[in-house]
Amino acid sequence: MKIGIVCYPTFGGSGVVATELGMALADKGHEVHFITYNQPVRLDFFTHNLHFHEVLLEEYPLFQYQPYELALSSKMVEVVEKHQLEVLHVHYAIPHAYAAYMAKRMLQEKGLDIKVVTTLHGTDITLVGSHPTYKSAVEFSINNSDVVTAVSKSLKEHTLRLFNITNDIKVVYNFIDTEKYDKAQETECNRISIAKPEERIVTHVSNFRPVKRTEDVIKIFYEIQKEVPSKLLMVGDGPERMNAEMLVAKLGIEERVIFLGNSNEVAKILCYTDVFLLPSETESFGLAALEAMAASSAVISTNTGGLPEVNIHGKTGYLSNLGDVNDMAKNAITILKDDAILEVFKANAKAHTKLFSLENILPVYEELYKSCSVSA
């Protein structure tokens, strides 16, 4: 099929899912067109059948804010027409679903019927989308998409609670290319470059936004390192990074914490990891936790949003109430203190990721694309 993908081209989870999906579809022989304001960070152009169309913005003195949605809708119309796309799959409702609806209407005027698949990722519903500033437009664009998916049962329920939804919402979980993580573990895992043999490795990966509670990560690790010789890897960048670094300095644990910044080598970094920390305020799914589990890491997380659908309490890791850093530290120490316990949790985490494998999830999206284009 000929599929257009619209997403944020950044390190955020929705952009990562969209990019990995596009590359996997292209690998399977579909023609995939990314329509974004920058080349997506994880996009590998060595994959056949992949195209990138940049959305350009025009400066004009009257514009205090440049009308990105307008430029995006126009670009969608242009690409759909030129390449005869059948489906536009938009990731993150704001403003992509709304812009896709406008493109669909413009194309209808030209006698073309493009199908719009909208995937809700989380903060487009939980934090931003339900705000009165955007609510009507988000609700309208969800109800007017041809297919709507949410990345967890929790996010679907959340959407139904917050909006007046008349459309069906299908749950399609985030997925993982398990082979990529197996390969990183088998061939590239040089743990000794990060920690001494007797030290455990604890990792956090995020965009360091307030919702990720990176200061809780530091507080949890502070307790862990008192009991278990260990290092903390902080991967990513964002508004809370400075506060996290300041807390590390205040607690006097600079020697034990390494800030790595943004990375395209997450699989390689995760292969060292024993325990992954994700104490988020809310997490519709928790792709970062799934990536860690694929690299055989146990997960210590909060029990918010979709996290209980990914991290199984007492099996792949532990879940705690939001902000309960002592409980999260206690649980991490239980896992890290004992080699045998750690191995069981690591193996369970890895096994659980099969449920979210690319082979399982990719055909679900292909089926959804097919079903909406057939119903034309």
Residues in contact with ligand GMT by CB under 6 A are 12-15, 17, 92, 121-123, 151, 174, 207, 211, 282-287
* DSSP helix/strand/coil, 317: strand
At residue 41, what is the residue type?
A: V
Shortest Å distance, C-beta 281 to ligand GMT: 8
Nearer to ligand GMT, 225 or 311 (CB): 311
- How far apart are alpha carbons 330 and 117 in whole angstroms? 43
Nearer to ligand GMT, 17 or 76 (CB): 17
Distance in Å, CB of 279 to ligand GMT, minimum = 12
Which residue number, 127 or 253, has a Cβ lying nearer to ligand GMT? 127
Nearer to ligand GMT by Cβ, of 282 and 316: the residue is 282
To the nearest whole angstrom, how small is the minimum distance from the Cβ of residue 13 to ligand GMT?
Answer: 3
Longest dimension (CA), the chain: 68
Q: Is 179 helix (H, G, I), strand (E, B) or coil?
A: helix
When the beta carbons of 121 and 231 are compared against ligand GMT, the nearer one is 121
| Integer Cα distance of 363 and 366 in angstroms | 5
H helix or E strand, kind and range, residue 50: strand 50-54
Strand arrangement of the beta sheet that strand 230-235 belongs to: 257-261, 230-235, 200-205, 275-278, 298-302, 317-320
Residue 325 token pair: 């850093």
Q: How far is the CB of 7 from ligand GMT (least distance, A)?
A: 8
CB of 64 to ligand GMT, least distance (A): 26
Phi and psi at 9, nearest 5°, equal -85, 30
With contact defined as beta carbons under 8 Å apart, do 208 and 239 qualify?
yes
Structure token pair of residue 48: 């056949």
Q: Which is nearer to ligand GMT, 228 or 288 (by Cβ)?
A: 288
In the bound complex, what is the minimum distance in angstroms from residue 375's beta carbon to ligand GMT? 26
Nearer to ligand GMT, 4 or 12 (CB): 12
Q: Which is nearer to ligand GMT, 14 or 273 (CB)?
A: 14
Comparing CA positions, the residue from 7, 9, 76, 72 lying closest to residue 43 is 9
In single-letter form, the type of residue at position 69 comes to: E
At closest approach, how far in Å is the CB of 289 from ligand GMT?
Answer: 8
Of 247, 299, 292, nearest in space to 277 by CA: 299
DSSP conformation letters of 252-266: T-GGGEEEEES-S-H
Cα–chain center distance at 364 = 18
Backbone angles phi, psi at 170, to 5 degrees: -100, 140
Nearest approach, Cβ of residue 174 and ligand GMT (Å): 5
